[in-house]
Structure 1
Amino acid sequence: MDLSSFDVLDADNIPDFYCVRRQLLAYRNMVPKDDLPDYVVEVAPVPASELAKKDEGLPFRQQSEPVVTKSSASSLRRQMSAQVERPPPKKAPALVVSANAWRPAAKKTPEDDLKRQVQGLLNKICPENVASIIEKIASIKVDDIKQLEAIIELMFKKAITEPHYCETYADMVFSLKAVYPSFPDPDGGKPITFKGLVLNICQNEFEELLAYNDISAEQKATLDAEELEYMRKKRKDRMRANMKFIGHLFLRQLLSAKVIGSVICELVLCEQIDDLPEEHALECACELLLAIGYTMENMIAGQSALTSVCGRLKELMKRKLENGKSAYCKRVQFMIQDVLDTRAAGWAKKVFKAAAKTKEEIRLEQEKEMSERAKGKDVTKAECVVTGQRPVYLSQATGA
């Protein structure tokens, strides 16, 4: 149909498709010419002169091409889209409740509240505020053995997961051992004390170390190489952190030299000369010796234990298998040699690992470093320390 024949219209006799023509003209102004259908392209505009003559009685009649506004454009889109048939919306699948979906927990017990309170305090601990944290934990009322065990377990867990804070947590144990009361043993034995519970947890962890088994066959079948290596490293780090924590408990006189000596001898199998200790046991023994060496050396009971253990380590380092290969890998041999060299140097060694320090200690180190740089000296990040010394506050109290 040629719509151009309706350019001039009688105001009293306007066909119904006039409004359609106006919509097509508006649509043509909105869409690129290449995308327009032929019947829209062929629509001729209404001459302005004729529209002026017939303007009366025609609402919305324009003098020229229609001007497209946002409202008219959106209206036109709605009209055009209404004519397109759309498939009915698909019904959403029903939600499946997971087997481990979150559910409101049961009503909290006093023990849960105590754990949350202690955990919040332990998360804030650092050498700068350890005294105030100890005071806050000491002010928590403990009514039974379960609550006391809960506090100790949280402290032990933090100590072995944050080994650089082992000294801080050992100081906390030393300060709290005289604060909490003892409780009667349900089995009729000796009263249960804070110190006794700490040592029991450390002993249980040590026994797990001795009964340590490598990754099971099931885990090897289900986990990839990276996951297996991560699991081994995590276990090894936990074992070494436990040895370090035990060593710092000994330095604070919470363990006797006789007990700590028997622990080391059991790790290296001093009484079973023909047997070879596991590599992880030797690593733990080296970690423990470096944590307590200086103090053990200055005790009569400790000297004999050190002589026996170091002699055993030297022999194991040189041990050969039947095929002529070394019984232990180079990493373990180097760890043993490091212990022997440190003992020969009076338990003095350079330490590159960052330890937990107070702001004042960091400030003094920076001043010392700046002073040495000003004198033209080479400054390294290594720090020469004597390993295995008792804490200063404890040495002053005992006169050692």
Structure 2
Amino acid sequence: MSRLAEEKYNRLTSHLIRSCVTPDILKRVTTLIVEKAVLEPTSCPMYAQLCYDIHNKLPKLPPKTMVSGEITFKKVLLNTMQKVFEGTYELSEEIRKMNAPDQKEERIDKERLLKLRNLGNLRFVGELFLKQMIPEKIVHHIVQELLGADKKMCPPDDDLEALSLSQDYRQQA
């Protein structure tokens, strides 16, 4: 990274950390980072580094209630990632219901978006895993989801492609 790029990165990181003063702002910032990473898979290493740096520099926020515990960037990140994965499943269900001939173009567009989101999700998960921001048990759960519940059925091609991507990260760790 060039010195100018590094200075900009450090300023951006400091600005983001200073702005995350409430749990709601932290959630919005985290959601923005995750969405950008998922839709820009080639930038996932940078977004994972950003998450790692924010996690290490952001102080814990006080709990919203006495029962909830301290709010950390890592907790918010994991919750956000879970919502992104759930949203992907919802989009997949929506696509399955699009059978009318006049929905063909829209279905193709949504299938492309779904594939991009799936690969972006997994690329980002892999990068976060390498930074030890996501526990191995979550990665194992994702792999099991991609393989499917029925061991006699071959998973869809997109899931196998995503699985091979996640295995590449596992071997790097």
Q: TM-score, normalised by structure 2?
A: 0.81
The residue that corresponds to 2:168 in the other structure is 290
Q: Which whole-Å CA distance do the structure 1 matches of 2:59 and 2:119 have between them?
A: 29
Q: Which whole-Å CA distance do the structure 2 matches of 1:147 and 1:133 have between them?
A: 16
* 8 A contact 1:220–1:228 mirrored in 2: no
Q: Which runs of 5+ in 2 are unaligned?
A: none
The residue that corresponds to 1:361 in the other structure is none
The one-letter code matched in structure 2 to 1:261 is H
Asked whether 1:202 is paired with 2:81, we answer: yes
Q: Which whole-Å CA distance do the structure 1 matches of 2:155 and 2:35 have between them?
A: 27
Q: Which runs of 5+ in 1 are unaligned?
A: 1-125, 296-400
Matches within 5 A, 1:167-316: 167-178=45-56, 179-186=58-65, 188-210=67-89, 212-213=92-93, 215-217=95-97, 220-223=100-103, 225-269=104-148, 272-295=150-173
Matches within 5 A, 1:1-400: 129-140=8-19, 142=21, 144-178=22-56, 179-186=58-65, 188-210=67-89, 212-213=92-93, 215-217=95-97, 220-223=100-103, 225-269=104-148, 272-295=150-173
* 8 A contact 2:20–2:29 mirrored in 1: no
What SS is found at the alignment partner of 1:177?
helix
Cα deviation 1:335-372 (Å, max 9, x = unaligned): xxxxxxxxxxxxxxxxxxxxxxxxxxxxxxxxxxxxxx
Cα deviation 1:143-199 (Å, max 9, x = unaligned): x21111111111111111111111101101000113143231437133221110101
Structure 1 194/265 Cα, relative in aligned 2: closer, same or farther at 3 Å?
A: same
What SS is found at the alignment partner of 1:182?
coil
Q: Which whole-Å CA distance do the structure 2 matches of 1:276 and 1:251 have between them?
A: 28
What SS is found at the alignment partner of 1:263?
helix
Q: Which has the higher helix share?
A: 2
Q: Which whole-Å CA distance do the structure 1 matches of 2:157 and 2:93 have between them?
A: 12
Runs of 4+ in 1 over 6 A off after TM superposition: none
Structure 1 131/191 Cα, relative in aligned 2: closer, same or farther at 3 Å?
A: same
Q: Which whole-Å CA distance do the structure 2 matches of 1:127 and 1:237 have between them?
A: 28
Q: Which whole-Å CA distance do the structure 2 matches of 1:171 and 1:217 have between them?
A: 38
Q: Which whole-Å CA distance do the structure 2 matches of 1:131 and 1:292 have between them?
A: 29
Q: Which whole-Å CA distance do the structure 1 matches of 2:98 and 2:88 have between them?
A: 21
Q: Which whole-Å CA distance do the structure 1 matches of 2:132 and 2:63 have between them?
A: 24
Structure 1 184/276 Cα, relative in aligned 2: closer, same or farther at 3 Å?
A: same
Indicate the structure (1 or 2) with the bigger Cα radius of gyration: 1
The one-letter code matched in structure 2 to 1:249 is L
Q: CA RMSD in A?
A: 2.5
Q: Which whole-Å CA distance do the structure 2 matches of 1:233 and 1:167 have between them?
A: 22
Identity rate, percent? 23
The one-letter code matched in structure 2 to 1:172 is L
